[in-house]
Amino acid sequence: MTILYLARHGESEWNADRRITGQLDPELSLRGRRQAHALATVLAEAPLRGVHSSTLRRTRDTAAPAAAAHRLPVQAHPALVEQHLGVLQGRWRDGRDPEAQRLRAERKRLGHDFTVPGGESFAELRDRVVACLERLLGEAGGGAILIVGHRHVNRVILEHLLGWHGAATGALAPGSRVLHEITLGPAATVATIDLDGDCIGGWRQETAR
């Protein structure tokens, strides 16, 4: 039985400033560093065999405390970097940038069918993430691993493992304060923990892989 702990990176400085990040590389905010240590605390007794992240520092720095507690290296994978968001990268998420707001609204309306100009399609993102995920799960050999990813990377992982799509996966809210514990077997089970302090009690979902 393989257990995958799946977390998004802690809050970055650009998350706090309401800027769109994509594959750009800001540092964690103070809150993000606290979330990284909360992740390590929650996983203190987990039998981790591997800790994995993307090559962007907000994921590496989020994974580092948990990896250090288990005396494991953080293994960084280019295939787990966030989706390239083209012309939206570095722009404001709010009313300071009406054109960015328009593109984000169109992206929300069309979902996986929309590709930001100059960016990466969801299909391209899915192909690279799933290939890396399957390799890491194969190497886990029935143990437990941690992956610290990004919002859209983690949606790909959740959709792939749980067989969900779009709105259903969005309901899992793969944000910086959330840790998913996914137990893989004939049916995948996911439990959700709030890294800002509270366990989201009693919420479990089972579905065939």
- Sheet of 144-149, strand order: 74-77, 48-54, 144-149, 2-8, 178-184, 187-194, 199-208
Cβ–Cβ < 8 Å for 36, 109: no
The tokens describing 177, both together, are: 């304060």
Residue in 11, 52, 82, 152 annotated catalytic: 82
Nearest to 182 by CA among 147, 153, 150, 149: 147
Task: Assess whether 9 carries a catalytic annotation.
Answer: yes
Task: Assess whether 120 carries a catalytic annotation.
Answer: no
The Cα–Cα gap between 205 and 196 comes to: 22
The Cα–Cα gap between 91 and 18 comes to: 9
Tell me which residues are annotated as active site.
9, 82
